[in-house]
Amino acid sequence: MAKHTIVLIPGDGIGPEVTTATRRVIEASGVSIDWVELPAGANAIAQGFDNVLPERTVAAIKAHRVALKGPVTTPVGKGFKSVNVQLRQRLNLYAAIRPVRSLPGVKTRFENVDMVIVRENTEGLYSGIENEIVPGVVTSLKVASEPACTRIARYAFRYATRRHRKKITVFHKANIMKLSDGLFLNCARKIFEEEYPNIDYEETIIDAGCMKLVQDPTKFDVLLMENFYGDLVSDLCAGLVGGLGVVPGSNIGEEAAVFEAVHGSAPDIAGKGIANPLALIMSGVMMLRHLHEDTAADRIKIAYNAVLEEGDKSKLTRDLGGTGGTDSFADAMVAKLK
Q: Which residues carry out catalysis?
A: 126, 173, 207, 231
Task: Tell whether residue 327 is a contact of ligand ATP (CB under 6 A).
Answer: no
117 by Cβ neighbours in 10 Å (0-12 / 13-18 / 19+) ranks as: buried
- Near ligand ATP by CB under 6 A: residue from 263, 299, 315, 336: 263
CA nearest neighbour of 233 among 331, 115, 61 = 115
Smaller CB separation from ligand ATP, 44 or 183: 44
Q: Which residue is nearest to ligand ATP (CB)?
A: 264
CA nearest neighbour of 44 among 12, 16, 70, 75 = 12
- Near ligand ATP by CB under 6 A: residue from 113, 174, 275, 297: 275
Closest separation between CB of residue 220 and ligand ATP, Å? Answer: 21
Round to whole Å and give the CA distance between 250 and 35.
Answer: 18
Smaller CB separation from ligand ATP, 14 or 174: 14
Binders of ligand ATP among residues 53 to 112 (CB under 6 A) are 74
Contact assessment for residue 8 and residue 36, using Cβ atoms and an 8 Å cutoff: yes
- Near ligand ATP by CB under 6 A: residue from 279, 297, 330, 333: 279
The piece of 165-173, 193-201, 202-210, 273-281 that touches ligand ATP (CB under 6 A) is 273-281
Round to whole Å and give the CA distance between 196 and 23.
Answer: 38
Written as one letter, the residue type at 196 is Y
Pairing state between β 200-205 and 250-252: unpaired
Closest separation between CB of residue 190 and ligand ATP, Å? Answer: 32
Task: Tell whether residue 153 is a contact of ligand ATP (CB under 6 A).
Answer: no
Per-residue x/- mask for ligand ATP, residues 14 to 33, rule CB under 6 A? x-------------------
Closest separation between CB of residue 72 and ligand ATP, Å? Answer: 8
Task: Tell whether residue 244 is a contact of ligand ATP (CB under 6 A).
Answer: yes
The runs of H, that is alpha helices, within the chain are 15-28, 42-46, 55-64, 83-90, 146-162, 180-195, 206-215, 227-241, 278-290, 294-310, 326-337
Smaller CB separation from ligand ATP, 51 or 74: 74
SS3 225: strand
